[in-house]
């Protein structure tokens, strides 16, 4: 089982739509914010300086609404890398409660200097995928 990274999320006032729940676009932002937070927490500074990521695909399933005042948490982990892409899975849930959203995202690794795709570095796999001892 890959390492799971957990991050608390704050619902902003402008995340709430006319139906009185968290808008689907806000959930997409939460998924992205969790991935970025995981990268910044786990990847060594030299890798963070050398590489950047862009989204190729988001697949999101909305299971339950997020409501004003909810305390949310995102749990994210990486799947299988393949060349310059790496899949990532994310769940957004109420803290201590049900999962509201599940997501599978495919990220593309880019060289930060050139903007060109690069193969996933084995050091990234060690930093983001391997559970700590």
**Phi-psi sector, 28: left (phi>0), alpha (psi -120 to 50), beta:** alpha
Cα–Cα dist 30/101, whole Å:
10
Q: Are the beta carbons of 23 and 16 closer than 8 angstroms?
A: yes
State pLDDT tens for residues 108-133: 999 999 999 999 989 999 888 875 54
Sorted by where each begins, the domain ranges of the chain are 5-129
**Phi-psi sector, 96: left (phi>0), alpha (psi -120 to 50), beta:** left
State pLDDT tens for residues 93-104: 999 999 999 999
The CATH homologous superfamily of the domain defined by 5-129: Hotdog Thioesterase (3.10.129.10)
Cα–Cα dist 74/9, whole Å:
7
pLDDT of residue 129: 84
Short-list 44, 45, 131, 35, CA closest to 86? 35
What pTM value is reported for the model?
A: 0.92
């Amino acid at each position: 089982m890959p390492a799971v990274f957990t991050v608390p999320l704050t619902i902003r006032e402008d995340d709430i739509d006319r139906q009185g729940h968290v808008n689907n676009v806000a959930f997409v932002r939460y998924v992205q914010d969790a991935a970025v937070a995981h990268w910044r927490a786990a990847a060594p500074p030299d890798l963070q300086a050398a590489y950047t990521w862009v989204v190729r695909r988001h697949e999101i399933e909305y299971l339950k609404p997020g409501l004003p005042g909810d305390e949310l948490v995102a749990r994210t982990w990486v799947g299988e890398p393949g060349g310059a892409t790496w899949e990532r899975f994310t769940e957004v849930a109420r803290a201590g409660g049900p999962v509201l959203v599940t997501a599978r995202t495919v990220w593309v690794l880019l060289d930060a200097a050139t903007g060109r795709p690069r193969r996933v570095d084995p050091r990234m796999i060690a930093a983001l995928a391997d559970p700590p001892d």
